[in-house]
Amino acid sequence: MWSLPSIIKINEDAAKNENKYVRAVKTLVLNRKRVRCDRCEAPASHAEIWYDIFGPDPKGIMAACEACCENYGLEGDACFHCADCERTFVTNYSWELYLKHTDDGETLCLNCYRAMVATLVLTVIILVPLAAWMQIREHAD
Ligand SMILES: [Zn+2]
Ligand SMILES: [Zn+2]
């Protein structure tokens, strides 16, 4: 079970490991070992950094060999790609999913989704009525 202290710990480790992961995706070598396919353990031919929604730093890399990448895709079900910030995220640690599908059929991470909703709320609740009110004021004067 994931708890808050473990998420804080994960974030601390992630900050330390960022350069390591960036290098590993390019070289397919991590901790001096050849990166292996997450599914079949064959030497990986594709790798990508993944994030979670709890911090800005990469949390790890996912990797796939040529065959698995072709058959299942690099990301699989464990991860998803955010259409807004264009990062790959872990789908969930616990029961809560860290993604939302928009009405446009896009997949967003919860951080981008919340930002989008906040912008929408700001526009609909504050800016539109404000613009209408200012127009009324203008005509009244
Ligand atoms: Zn494989
Ligand atoms: Zn996002």
pTM: 0.72
Can you tell me the distance from the alpha carbon of 63 to that of 27, in angstroms, rounded to the nearest whole number?
12
The amino acid at residue 57 is D
Tell me the CA–centroid distance for residue 84 and ligand 1, in Å: 29
What average pLDDT is seen over the chain? 88
Tell me the CA–centroid distance for residue 115 and ligand 2, in Å: 9
Mapping DSSP onto H, E and C, the string for the chain reads CCCHHHHHHHHHHHHHHHHHHHHHHHHCEECCEECECCCCCCECCEEEEEECCCCCCCCEEEEECHHHHHHHCCCCCCEEECCCCCCEEECCCCCCCCEEECCCCCEEEHHHHHHHHHHHHHHHHHHHHHHHHHHHHHHHC
Return the pLDDT at 1: 52
Return the pLDDT at 3: 67
Mean pLDDT (whole number) for 45-56: 92
Can you tell me the distance from the alpha carbon of 97 to that of 99, in angstroms, rounded to the nearest whole number?
6
Return the pLDDT at 141: 64
Confidence grade of residue 18 (pLDDT, cut at 50, 70, 90): confident
Tell me the CA–centroid distance for residue 86 and ligand 2, in Å: 6
| Span 57-84, pLDDT tens digits | 888 999 999 999 999 888 777 889 999 9
Tell me the CA–centroid distance for residue 133 and ligand 2, in Å: 34
Tell me the CA–centroid distance for residue 124 and ligand 2, in Å: 22
Can you tell me the distance from the alpha carbon of 124 to that of 118, in angstroms, rounded to the nearest whole number?
10
| Span 80-110, pLDDT tens digits | 999 999 999 999 988 889 999 998 899 999 9
Confidence grade of residue 125 (pLDDT, cut at 50, 70, 90): confident
Tell me the CA–centroid distance for residue 136 and ligand 2, in Å: 38
Ligand with minimal distance to 76 CA: 1
Confidence grade of residue 8 (pLDDT, cut at 50, 70, 90): confident
